[in-house]
Amino acid sequence: MLKESFFYGKVLLFGEYGIIQDSMGLSIPFESYQGSLIFSSDDKKMAEWSNNELRKFYSFLLDLNCNNQLPCNMDLDKLEKDIENGMLFDSSIPKGYGVGSSGALVASIYDSYAINRISSKGNISSEDILKLKGIFGQLESYFHGKSSGLDPLICYLNLPILIKGKNDLNAIGIPEQGDGKGGIFLLNTGNPGETEPMVNIFFDKLKEEGFRSMFRKKFKKYNNACIEAFLEKDFAPLFANVKNLSKVVLDNFKPMIPANYQKIWQEGIDSNAYYLKLCGSGGGGYILGFTQDIAEAKKKLSKYQVDVIYNF
């Protein structure tokens, strides 16, 4: 009998692309969205599609196993039987929006079919966090070509994770939400993005010395400073560095920003009403926003869907 476990989405507050290049990152669970493995749904079309997608993922896992590349022991026979019996992944997490749709699925599969799995309950060591990240990176590579494993890790543990380097990750507490005027929001572009093409563009850009230099001297500097200020709840340097980061991304990551959102991105910087940054790999989906005045930001962005996810 399949146990019913829900896995939430995630939001990478800071570190998009940076964590690939060993800068800091901060990712948090996003409980507005969730997914779980189930056996029946009133939405027959969705159920058939999801079951077929699980079948493809199972084939990928089977190939890994046949080539002795499966990163953990899994009961693939049970997985196959459950798929044959109509299992599907029932999820409210939008695909291609940078909030963990594939991460939640991978976490669900690992939780239900991994043998001697590392538990997501109780205190977890840094060593086990790294092990899980490695396992999830290989499993999620099916969806993105290459994966850090971070998204499934957040979805599985349902804990904020601070990334200080590729091999330095820790579950941490983040500041409690306040009741002030400022906050963090998601801006819905209305169109999903695709991770793999965006990541490929990034790696192509890294071949350019100028881009590499900018990334080291500016992106990494502002990104890391944002994380440190956020964790300290030190808002003056937080917003100063988010503004600088927003400028750097607009100037150097244009392919990752939908063309019809580049103008409002610049308007936020010019007016100081809000600052935008990528949510995940970009190319569509959600854009992340920071503001010292949510009401003012919503007024400026009245034509767009703005969802507040954290209050300062």
pLDDT surpasses 80 at 9? yes
Query: Please, where in the chain does CATH 3.30.230 lie?
Result: 7-171
Query: Please, where in the chain does CATH 3.30.70.890 lie?
Result: 183-311
Quote the pLDDT of residue 39.
94
For 143-164, what is each residue's pLDDT tens digit? Answer: 877 788 999 999 999 999 999 9
For 222-234, what is each residue's pLDDT tens digit? Answer: 999 999 999 999 9
Considering the chain, what percentage of its residues have pLDDT values greater than 90?
A: 85
Quote the pLDDT of residue 20.
81
Contact 177, 291 (CB under 8 A): no
Mean pLDDT of the chain: 94
pLDDT surpasses 60 at 1? no
Quote the pLDDT of residue 19.
85
Quote the pLDDT of residue 196.
85
Contact 12, 206 (CB under 8 A): no
For 183-204, what is each residue's pLDDT tens digit? Answer: 999 999 999 998 889 989 999 9
Phi-psi region of 295 (alpha: psi -120 to 50; beta: other; left: phi over 0): alpha
The count of residues in the chain is 312
Class at the top of the CATH hierarchy for domain 7-171: alpha beta
Contact 288, 278 (CB under 8 A): yes
Quote the pLDDT of residue 145.
78
pLDDT band at 4 (very low <50, low <70, confident <90, very high): low
**Stated pTM of the model:** 0.91
For 92-117, what is each residue's pLDDT tens digit? Answer: 999 889 899 999 999 999 999 999 99
For 243-299, what is each residue's pLDDT tens digit? Answer: 999 999 999 999 999 999 999 999 999 999 999 999 988 999 999 999 999 999 999
pLDDT band at 2 (very low <50, low <70, confident <90, very high): low
CATH number corresponding to 183-311: 3.30.70.890
